[in-house]
Each structure stands twice: as C-alpha cells, then as structure tokens.
Amino acid sequence: MLLINAGSVGEDGQADGCDAQAVEDWIAFDKAVRDAGVMVSGESLADLVTATTVRVAEDGRRSVVDGPFAETREVLGGFYVIDVPDLDAALDWAARCPGARGGGSVVVRPVADMGA
Amino acid sequence: MREQGAGTGRAVEEVFREEHGLLLATLVRRFGDLDLAEEVTAEAIEAALVRWPVDGVPSRPGAWLLTTARRKAVDRLRRDRAYAARLALLQVAADRAAPAPPPDTVRELPDERLQLFFTCAHPALPAPARAALMLRCLAGLTTAETARAHLVPEATMAQRIVRAKKKIREARIPFRVPGADELPERLPGVLEVLYSVFTEGYAASSGPDLTRPDLAGEAIRLTRILHRLLPREREVTGLLALMLLVHARRAARTGPAGEPVLLADQDRGRWDHAMIAEGLALVPAVLTGGPPGPYGVQAAIAALHDEAADVATTDWPQIVALYDVLSALAPSPVVAVNRAAAVAMRDGPEAGTGPPRRAGRRAAAARIPAVPRGAGRSAAAAGAAGRGSGGLPPRTRTGRDTAGTGPAAAHAGRRRTTRLSVRPFRRRGPARRRGRPQRRSSAVTHLTLPPPLSSSDNDTGTGS
C-alpha cells in the first residue's frame, strides 16, 4: 500500500501544488499503474476540512468531532493498493508517484497477510 | 554435538564459514526464506561435523551439504503445511518478478551470495541491522559473535536480527541482484556497510576484550568475496585495496602496552608487506578507466603512505592533490583536516600558521592534538594526520605535545575523538561559509559530514 502524504497544506486544507502540470502528472501516474496491471485499488481523499473523527469510549459512548486538522506538516492525501512481487517493485512505483515530490512523501506499507 | 572435540570442532567451523555463506545464499534462492535457509544450513553443517569425522569427507562437500540441507528443508515443509503454502505463494510472486535461472549444473554450487549482499544492505533496513545481517549471513558469525563484535548484549543483537528478518520477510525485501541501471544507486550502500564493519573493527582493536572477533579481518574477507563477484566494479576494488593497505599496518599501530603509535613513529618493518603488495597490485585498476570514486582515491592515498620508506620521503604533494580530489568527491571535516596536515607536511609547519589563502587555518586545526587522531576512522587519513602532528620535526613543540596527550585522547575511544575533531570546524561554520564561493573555485572543502562518518555514527548510535 502506498500512503501518499502531501508535503504542505494551504490555509483551506487543500494540498499545495495542484496546478495543471501536477494534475497531468497524476493522471499519467494513475494510467501507468492501471496499464501495468498492478492496481488493486486507490483513492484520492477529499480536503482535510471535510474530515470527521469518531471515537467510541469504553462505556460505549460515541464522540464525533470535526477534524483532525493538520497538526503535522504531512497529511494523508490518498492511497494506492498495488499488487507487486517485492519491496523493490513497490519502492519503484512509490518513487514514480507525483506525491513523492515537492516536499511530499509516499510511505510504503505491506498489507498484513492474515493467514492463507 | 558441539561439545564433541571442542578444539577441532572450532577449527572445522572456521572452515565451514565460507561454505556457510555459499550454502545459505543457494538455499535462500531456492526457498525464498531466510529463516528456513538459516535453520537448515546450520543443521546441515552440524550433520557434517558429526558425520565427516566418522565417514570421511565426501568427494563433493558442497554438494553433500546442499543435499542434506535441502532434505531437511523439505522435511520441515512437510511438517508445516501452512508455512509451505506461504512459501509457495512467495515463490510464485518471486518467479513472476524474475524467472529463476536454470539450475547451474556445471559448478558444484552456483555462487548466489551477491544477492545476499544486496539484501543485507538494503536501504529499507536500519543501518545497525545491515552490518549485523551481513556478518551473520555472509561471514557466518553466530549471533553471539556478532553481538560481541559490536559490544552489545547478545539479546539486543538477537532482537535486532529478528526484527530485520521480519522486515525482510513481511515487507518482501527481495533476494535479487539489482539490474545494471540500479547498481550505481545500490552498490555504494553495500560498500558503506562493509566499510563500517571495517572501521568498527579498528575501534575494537584498541579494546581490552581479546575475544572479540576480528571485524576488520571479516570486512576484508567479505570485500574479497564481493570483489570476486563484481571484479569490474572499481569502487569495490578500491575499497578492498584501501582495507588491505590500511590493515597491513595493524601490527605497528600499537606499542607494547597497547598504546597507539602514530604513523610517523611506526616501525615500518612490522607492516605486513605481503598485504601491502596485494593492495598495491589492485590500485592501478582502481585508478584507470575514468575518474575514481572516493574509496579508490583513499586507496591511492594509503598506497602512497605504504610505499614510502619514511615520513620524509613520502610523496606529500601527490597526497595533497589526492585529498583535493577526495574533498571534491566526498567533502568532510575529516578530509579537510587530513588535507591540511598533508599541506603542512608538504610546505613545512609554517604553512599552517601564516595568513592562509587555502589551507592555513585547517593546518592550524590539524595541530590540535586530538584532531588528527580522530581521523583514525579512515586509517589512511589518520596516517596523513598523524604525520602532520606527531610526525613534525623535533623542533616543533606541538609534535611533542601531541605525543603526550594523544594516547589519552585515543583511549577515550574513537567516537569521542571523532567528535573532538568535528567540533572546531562546526564552531567556525559561519565564517567559513562566507568564504565558500571563493573556495569552490580552488576546489577545497565543504563542511558536510562525510558519508562514512555519519552513517557509521548512525550505525552505532541508534541501536534499537
């Protein structure tokens, strides 16, 4: 799984650098992932201002709050789940991802293997 | 089984260490699982230790070991179906990535160790684990030996190795040799691990614990293997040459009481001249066919020291020129200090004190007693620095002072002295930075920490 963190987030909670070139890069990357046949799933997440956090306390009471807001510089902006044979292949895809540039980062996490 | 003839058993185990790496690499290739490969490699070697003294050594020992190990692996997989299923899945995935080459039947055992080098030094692993894995998988050291070598408790080392293997398994760090296009990016990482093992060995050699494995020797052994596997990679050759040329001085590096002896004062008759010859023979290949890398340049510097009969006849102008090249390739405070010391040796001690155009202030810094000593990280560098301070003519008082304070500083440990060597430069940071545009044209030095230094610090400092 490639977790795509935006490097910097503007006042309105939107990731910076969403100009035409960036959009084109993303479209190209997305197409490359699909064409390579490694795509399992992937989503781009809506702006952070739309986020809502749910916690359930020990007594079962539900608390719902607005946010979280960007307390850290990096905010999860989207993800890809890809099916590749090994870490090196995953790292190559991560390096090609536009989200890894411009102060952003891509965290590669293997999906846990539950049995099988 | 181990108790049986402890003395000879030990000797036999030494013989098996080379076999161990070969066998392990082959089994990793076959089964795609480091744990399983390690387990059955150990079992096969134990079986050999029991059987061979009774039945005699088989005509093809490598094949015997491999067959035995394979049989044990198959037994193990039969007992544990879930494990087998998981491995089969991994194997399918691995084959999809790179179809396994047809089994090599010409040689007794194909040498698959290169992929293990790259797996052990994979950048996704924490730095301390890389050296530990390499020592264990490729040098065949036990966890206990690896722990003693790094002066950490065995439990700590065991945990470090277990975590690293878990990451290899679960993050699927592949067992494969990077393609030619990836090699420039990945090979320096492998060399860095080997060099960090070597320098760690140097720090160790002054320690009181004689039972510590000879890390510098292990690093040389591993680098030899890598050099055999990648004979055309000049930085591998350069690293091997550097290690040999530095390690050749080991007998003369310490006095009767274990105190360090400066290069200038060393009895050059005690240097290992066979090892020097071996190192020197590699240098031409390192320096031809394009610009050399940082290890190649350091090897060339070490070669000039080793070739000289004494300090006076050392080719200092050439050494200064090589430090200029090195500081362009891999700028570091240590390189700057050593270059300055070499300049002082070339132009006389005054060159260090006059209003400097180039290296004056650095030469002055080089005379601070602890500084050149800290450079012992790269012993070639230490050589130059040692001469620059302790090696000055008797009329120079700083030289004497150095002789007095040096051993104490050296005993304080490599890591501390290294910090000492870095500090004066840090303090002067801003002033030097202002001078940077000028310096760039004269190709002198910058202030960033050198890769071997920082990574090695990291290596020992962040133990998990």
Q: By residue range, what is the domain housing residue A82? A: 2-108
> What is d(CA B315, CA B331) in angstroms, rounded to the nearest whole number?
22
Please give the pLDDT value at position A69: 72
- B85 vs A88: CB contact, 8 Å cut-off? no
Residues 6+ apart with CB under 8 A from B360: B351, B352, B353, B354
Nearest to B372 by CA among B360, B386, B359, B362: B386
Beta-bridge partners for A44:
A78
B331 and B427 assigned to the same domain: yes
- B176 vs A88: CB contact, 8 Å cut-off? yes
Q: Which residues of A touch B (CB under 8 A)?
A: 84-91, 108, 110, 112-113, 116
Q: What is the pLDDT of residues B397-436, one digit of tens each?
A: 333 333 323 333 333 333 333 332 323 233 333 334 443 3
Cα atoms in the Cβ-side hemisphere of radius 13 Å centred on A38 = 23
Tell whether A114 is covered by a domain: no
> What is d(CA B283, CA B305) in angstroms, rounded to the nearest whole number?
13
Judge whether B23 and B67 are in contact, CB under 8 Å: no
Tell whether B445 is covered by a domain: yes
Q: Which of B99, B132, B160 is the last residue of a domain?
A: B99
- How many other C-beta atoms lie within 10 A of the C-beta of residue B217? 15
B216 and B361 assigned to the same domain: no
Residues 6+ apart with CB under 8 A from B82: none
Give the chain A residue nearest B168 (alpha carbons).
A87
pLDDT exceeds cutoff 70 at A67: yes
Nearest to A9 by CA among A74, A55, A100: A74
Greater pLDDT, B138 or A49: B138
Greater pLDDT, B75 or B452: B75
Total count of domains within chain B: 3
Q: Which of B69, B99, B129 is the last residue of a domain?
A: B99
Pick from A9-18, B88-97, B111-120 the range whose average pLDDT is largest.
B111-120
Q: Which two tokens stand for residue B92?
A: 């399918």
HEC per residue, B345-411: HHHCHHHHCCCCCCCHHHHHHHCCCHHHHHHHHCHHHHHHHHHHHCCCCCCCHHHHHHHHHHHHHHH
Greater pLDDT, B241 or B175: B241
Tell whether B80 is covered by a domain: yes
Tell whether B295 is covered by a domain: yes
- The CATH number of whichever domain residue A50 belongs to comes to 3.30.70.1060
Quick one: average pLDDT of B19-40? 88
B165 and B307 assigned to the same domain: no
Residues of chain B neighbouring A108 (CB-CB closer than 8 A): 171
Q: Which residue has the tokens 């140097």?
A: B202
Q: In this predicted structure, which of A60-64, B219-223, B279-283, B349-353 has the lowest mean pLDDT?
A: B349-353
Q: What is the pTM of this model?
A: 0.70
Q: Which residues of B touch A (CB under 8 A)?
A: 85-86, 89, 93-94, 96-97, 122, 124, 170-174, 176, 178
Tell whether B104 is covered by a domain: no
> What is d(CA B452, CA B459) in angstroms, rounded to the nearest whole number?
10
Residue B252 burial by Cβ neighbours in a 10 Å radius (0-12, 13-18, 19+): middle
B3 and B81 assigned to the same domain: yes
- How many other C-beta atoms lie within 10 A of the C-beta of residue B300? 24
Give the chain A residue nearest B83 (alpha carbons).
A116
Q: Which residue has the tokens 């700057």?
A: B336
Tell whether B105 is covered by a domain: no
B350 and B393 assigned to the same domain: yes
B327 and B361 assigned to the same domain: yes
> What is d(CA B454, CA A16) in angstroms, rounded to the nearest whole number?
33
Q: By residue range, what is the domain housing residue B257? A: 233-459
Q: Which residue has the tokens 């420039």?
A: B184
- B124 vs A87: CB contact, 8 Å cut-off? yes
Tell whether B464 is covered by a domain: no
Greater pLDDT, B93 or B64: B64
Helix (H, G, I), strand (E, B) or coil at A114: coil
pLDDT exceeds cutoff 70 at B104: no
- Work out the minimum CA distance from B103 to partner chain A, whole angstroms: 22
Chain A to chain B, count of Cβ pairs less than 8 Å apart? 38
> What is d(CA B285, CA B19) in angstroms, rounded to the nearest whole number?
29
B342 and B441 assigned to the same domain: yes
- B172 vs A85: CB contact, 8 Å cut-off? yes
Give the chain A residue nearest B186 (alpha carbons).
A88
HEC per residue, B172-190: CCCCCCCCCCCHHHHHHHH
Mutate to test the interface with A, among B172, B173, B186 (most CBs of A within 10 A): B172
Helix (H, G, I), strand (E, B) or coil at B271: coil
Cα atoms in the Cβ-side hemisphere of radius 13 Å centred on B388 = 37
Tell whether B400 is covered by a domain: yes
Tell whether A113 is covered by a domain: no
- A85 vs B93: CB contact, 8 Å cut-off? yes
B332 and B439 assigned to the same domain: yes
Total count of domains within chain A: 1
Q: What is the ipTM of this complex?
A: 0.78
pLDDT exceeds cutoff 80 at B375: no
